[in-house]
Amino acid sequence: MTHPLHTAEQAAATLTLPALLDMRQAAPLRDLLLAALAAEAPIRLDGAAVERLTTPCAQVLLAAAADASRRHLPFQLCNPSPALGAGFTALGLKTTLNDWSAA
C-alpha cells in the first residue's frame, strides 16, 4: 500500500511536549505520536516547555520521525528549549534536532 504525498494544505496540529521527557513519559509519548501518525497528517511538536530529555524519549522521537518519513509526512520540532537542545547534543543528535527545527 502506498501513501500519497501530503501537501501543506493538510493542517498539522501542534503537540506540546511535556516538561519532563524521561523514562516515565516514554510510553505516553509513544502513544501520542502513534496516534498522530495514524491520523496521516504532518507532525509538529512544540518543545518550548521541555526541561529534561532522557534517552528513552529521544529514541521515541527518533522512531516517530523515521515512521513519519516512511509515510511521507513532515516531522517538525519547533521552539526547542535549551534543555531539549542540550539533551540532543549530549546524545550526539544536535544535527537531527536542527533538521527537525528547520523542517
- Is 69 contained in some domain? yes
- pTM for the model: 0.87
Print the domain residue range for 18. Answer: 14-102
Number of domains present in the structure of the chain: 1
What CATH number does residue 82 fall under?
3.30.750.24
Judge whether residue 64 has pLDDT over 90.
yes
The pLDDT value recorded for residue 6 is 39
Judge whether residue 25 has pLDDT over 60.
yes
- Is 68 contained in some domain? yes
The pLDDT value recorded for residue 10 is 52
The pLDDT value recorded for residue 102 is 85
At 103, the pLDDT band (50, 70, 90 cuts) reads confident
Give the separation between CA 70 and CA 91, rounded to whole angstroms: 23
- Is 4 contained in some domain? no
